[in-house]
């Protein structure tokens, strides 16, 4: 008897039959997963201060503290800090605590229309400054170390320039400084966000924010990031997810990341106008013309030692945009390190998990001594 030809349809049927048990197993696995299993940002911490919707936390130590100077994490307004604490084995927070660092965190909360008038002036000169003052009073220190992440790194850099007397060290990770450094010589897949933002007319930015109720919705920003990697976004819920169904650990990693992506807060509109116009479009920070509370943010005024870490394959913040800081600051100690990973991988990939915390902790220990 002649065997049926192996047509595309027959191949598909064979694939379904071979994977039927796998689908059943995946369904049972998903049915047994609850919200608590996908908990993120779960490292124990204590709320010590609240101002409006902004909260200051102090993480509970996991070892005896050997780095004396307190470290304040300043995350960006785009996204949530929980990205730094996805799960025990993928947590910059836990890694730093395990290296005996006194770790603090600013949580910006969930800004809404009531916060649409907040500017970067408010975040730098009010919220961050109050947090630093509170930490100094609580610990007896005169200064703190700032650990700025992405947009939060820009806020931390501005604070270090305007309040130099309060900053012991400045550590930046994935932070843009020169928003036009990618124009010449950047890889084709790098800087798409920069290119898109620069292509908008300033009045278009105003129209977008006004039409959206004075805020930039988290869902809107999420869609922009999704469009930057369209093929990856199209395949992650079928091809990629199917590959993870067989292993619970991989599936949980996927679900925790998706939970973080879905928890993107709204960005206050006025701060968003500054971010898009004065940074991305006009590049005022490196030109020495960016103002906060009526004062010019002069990068040469930074006197604290600076550690600048960036991702060499970053498609959101091209490495050149971060590296530019080295030529703009004054005569302070400066060190930069590029890691072979992408923007997200800098904080959560297996390769960077140990190295990022190790680099930060070792650098801080030397300064502390």
The predicted pLDDT at position 239 comes to: 65
Annotated active-site residue in 16, 136, 150, 158: 150
Question: For position 32, what pLDDT does the model report?
Answer: 59
Q: Is pLDDT of 4 > 60?
A: no
Sign of CA dihedral 311, 313, 317, 322: positive
Confidence of residue 15 (pLDDT cuts 50, 70, 90): low
Task: List the structure tokens of 81.
Answer: 């800090």
Known catalytic residue at 150? yes
Dump pLDDT digits (tens) for 276-311: 999 999 999 999 999 999 999 999 999 999 999 999
Q: Looking at residues 196-200, what average pLDDT do you find? A: 89
Cα 330 to Cα 145, 166, 170, 327, 360: the distances in Å are 18, 17, 13, 8, 22
Q: Residue 33: its pLDDT value, please?
A: 65
Q: What is the pLDDT of residue 221?
A: 86
Q: Under CATH, to which class is 36-368 assigned?
A: alpha beta
The residue-averaged pLDDT of 208-212 equals: 94
pTM for this one?
Answer: 0.88
Cβ(364)–Cβ(67) below 8 Å: yes
pLDDT tens digits along 133-178? 999 999 999 999 999 999 999 999 999 999 999 999 999 999 999 9
Query: How does pLDDT run across 315-344, given as a tens digit for each residue?
Result: 889 999 999 999 999 888 999 999 998 888
| pLDDT, mean of residues 214-221 | 91
Token pair in block for residue 166: 């309060």
């Amino acid at each position: 008897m002649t065997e049926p030809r192996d047509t595309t349809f027959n191949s598909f049927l064979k694939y379904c039959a071979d994977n039927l048990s796998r689908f059943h197993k995946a369904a049972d696995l998903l049915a047994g997963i609850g919200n608590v299993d996908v908990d993120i940002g779960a490292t124990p911490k204590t709320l010590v201060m609240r101002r409006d919707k902004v909260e200051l936390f102090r993480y509970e130590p996991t070892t005896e503290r050997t780095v004396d100077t307190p470290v304040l994490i300043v995350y960006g307004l785009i996204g949530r800090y929980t990205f730094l604490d996805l799960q025990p084995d993928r947590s910059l927070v836990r890694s730093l605590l395990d290296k005996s660092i006194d770790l603090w965190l600013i949580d910006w909360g969930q800004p809404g229309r009531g916060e649409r008038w907040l500017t970067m002036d408010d975040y730098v000169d009010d919220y961050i400054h109050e947090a630093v003052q509170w930490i100094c009073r609580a610990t007896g220190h005169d200064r703190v170390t700032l650990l700025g992440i992405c947009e939060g790194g820009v806020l931390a850099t501005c604070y270090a320039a305007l309040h130099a007397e309060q900053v012991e060290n400045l550590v930046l990770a994935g932070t843009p400084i020169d928003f036009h450094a990618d124009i010449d010589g950047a890889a084709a897949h790098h800087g798409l966000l920069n290119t898109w933002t620069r292509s908008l007319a300033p009045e278009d930015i105003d129209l977008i924010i006004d039409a959206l109720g004075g805020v930039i919705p988290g869902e809107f920003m999420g869609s922009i990031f999704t469009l930057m990697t369209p093929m990856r976004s199209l395949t992650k819920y079928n091809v990629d997810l199917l590959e993870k169904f067989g292993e619970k650990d991989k599936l949980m990693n996927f679900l925790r990341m998706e939970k973080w992506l879905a928890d993107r807060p709204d960005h206050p509109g006025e701060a968003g106008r500054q971010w898009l116009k004065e940074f991305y479009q006009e590049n005022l920070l490196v030109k020495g013309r960016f103002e906060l509370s009526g004062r010019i943010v002069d990068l040469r005024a930074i006197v604290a030692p600076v550690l600048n870490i960036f991702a060499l394959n970053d498609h959101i913040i091209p490495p050149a945009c971060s590296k530019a800081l080295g030529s703009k600051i004054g005569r302070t100690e400066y060190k930069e390190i590029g890691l072979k990973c992408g923007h997200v991988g800098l904080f959560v990939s297996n390769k960077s998990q140990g190295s990022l915390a190790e680099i930060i902790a070792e650098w801080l220990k030397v300064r502390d001594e």
